[in-house]
Amino acid sequence: MPIDTLANGQISIAGKSYGGATGDAANYVVLERATRAVVESGQVAGDSGGLNRLNDLANFYGNGGNCMRYMMIVSGSGGGRRRPARLLRRAC
């Protein structure tokens, strides 16, 4: 299943697009690892509220038994691309 994280400002998975963030915003998709089914997707603003939302999602889908069950993809094309970096430091 092909995944393109910057397809016209969206995340594209097997030809279906998610998000659509522009400017300083970011897109996200949460996949179930075993089936690759999308369980949640959307976009957040590139401000502290948006980053807090991404962090809440990472905590929910990345803690305990969820860590190996789900995978989160975060992407953005604006100047705030580096802001989600603290999420990348998360480990199971």
Q: Which two tokens stand for residue 3?
A: 């995944």
Q: 81 pLDDT band (50/70/90 cuts)?
A: very low
pLDDT value at position 60?
92
Tell me how far apart the alpha carbons of residues 6 and 49 are, in angstroms, rounded to a whole number. Answer: 22
Give the pTM.
0.80
Q: Mean pLDDT over residues 1-8, rounded? A: 78
Residue 20's CB: how many other CB atoms inside 10 A?
Answer: 13
> What are the residue boundaries of the structural domains of the chain, listed by start?
3-88
Alpha helices per DSSP H over 2-47: none
